[in-house]
A and B are shown apart, each in its own frame.
Chain A
């Protein structure tokens, strides 16, 4: 029986050189949970995602994942432990085809529910376009590839940074419609969003960030609109 608590972050400070971007962040995620992290531009959401996977320098932090300590370990090791990040702006490998992007995501061969076939079932449009250059796809399709590429690593936890930023509403709906199938397959998710209503609809719990600090935490049902705007805008 694995521990129920998948991710437990305590007292995380993050820095870009001398500039401190995050202050004493503590948050946790249970297995099977979908978390939403909301907040305005430059609230520190992306920095938090990068800090978890070791792309940003942290200090004093305890980042326990599936019982092991991640703080201070190199990114490629953290990924092997079972965390995958869908980076902001999708950042597909532009000289690789759609399928090659997915294969690169799966090169560690961790066991789990996700394979090329499973990704094509999740996002059928990718199957038709699998031999096309990744740059020939629309933004929404690129986001599907980026999510599929992360899932191919068969992570226990997938972090999706700015899921809907810059995408057409209809595609955003399609991607959100696929998310429950991701968690049903046993992959927990943390979604970073500026589009609060989308995030609240799928999340089990929500954290709001402002100025590098957590200003609100709770279940979507327990949070009032006023409480959220106060936490979001600081008014």
Chain B
């Protein structure tokens, strides 16, 4: 029963990792942009949530509905003003620019908010649990994170495969030049993709802020979790990304159970094993 509990907690944390990874996966899928600043954008969203909560005294979880639109608009602007200028046949310029953005976000946050770690307090919900059976219980907050991850991925899948905007994004991803021949404005579509990505980042950022302490330097390690979940699950498959997040979460939970020092190492080892033996990921998207 103790082990069942460990694995269950790992699965639920995996939902948060999937949230870290989804926006990353989406952006890479649509425009082949590896966004090194992704983790820092998650932390930025956490600080935006902090501002919302301190200024309006809104409940942190409800702040998602403020932070998500703010981050989405910022994402659209970021794409139109910055990233669209770097996209092309060469993958290096967008990589370097996003690396630069990462450094800038970290330092701006450090200037404004100092290096002190912060946390959003969500009140009683943080410690509330739902009993399942026989002494097994899950926390309401981790459950909420997991449900949010599943709902967001289901919504994105629906958008990609059943709505005209999703068809447009897939077409642009397949062949940007021919997409223009269909009358699409790729710069706008890429902006929409970045807006979606940062809306998901906003949700991840708020949960990050409620779950544990955060500070301006936390971004790169969140980026690593996101990367690992994407690679484990397989590129271009959002359900695979969820599975990747869950596998990472479970590996960390098992590692931590064996020895608290092994938590991060266990996750990285699973990632390395996937990279070594199945580099295309466990659930790669099959074309055609």
Contact = CB atoms under 8 A, between A and B. Distances in A.
Contacts of B182: 79, 104-105, 107-108, 149, 153
B174 A96 contact: yes
Nearest to B164: A107
B175 interface: yes
B170 A95 contact: yes
Interface string A79-109: 1100011010001011110001001110110
Given A94-B287, A108-B183, A87 B167 contact: no
Interface in A51-103: 53, 55, 74-76, 79-80, 84-85, 87, 91, 93-96, 100, 103
Given A107-B164, A136-B288, A91 B175 contact: yes
A60 B175 CA distance: 29
B181 A87 contact: yes
B28 interface: no
Majority-rule SS of A interface residues: mixed
Contact of B173 (A84, A85, A95, A103): A95
B167 A94 contact: no
A186 interface: no
B177 interface: yes
B183 A103 contact: no
Contacts of A53: 181
Interface residues of B, number: 19
B99 interface: no
B140 interface: no
Given A94-B288, A133-B288, A76 B184 contact: yes
Contacts of B185: 74, 76
A4 B183 CA distance: 25
B183 A87 contact: no
B238 to A, nearest CB: 14
A135 B173 CA distance: 16
A208 to B, nearest CB: 25
A201 to B, nearest CB: 27
B178 A107 contact: no
B234 to A, nearest CB: 15
Interface in A111-154: 133-136, 149, 153
Contacts of B177: 55, 87
Given A94-B287, A95-B174, A133-B288, A75 B168 contact: no
Contacts of B175: 91, 93
B183 A107 contact: yes
B170 A135 contact: no
A136 B286 CA distance: 13
B164 A93 contact: no
Interface in A15-51: none
A84 B183 CA distance: 9
Contacts of A134: 288
Contact of B178 (A87, A100, A133, A153): A87
B174 A103 contact: no
Nearest to B188: A76
B180 interface: yes
Contacts of B218: none
Nearest to B170: A95
Interface in B148-169: 164, 167-168
Nearest 8 CB-CB pairings of A with B: A135-B288, A79-B183, A93-B174, A75-B180, A133-B288, A93-B171, A108-B183, A104-B171
Interface of B: 164, 167-168, 170-171, 173-175, 177-185, 287-288
6 contacts: A53-B181, A75-B181, A80-B183, A94-B288, A96-B170, A107-B168
Given A93-B178, A93-B179, A103-B164, 5 more contacts: A75-B181, A76-B183, A104-B168, A107-B167, A107-B182
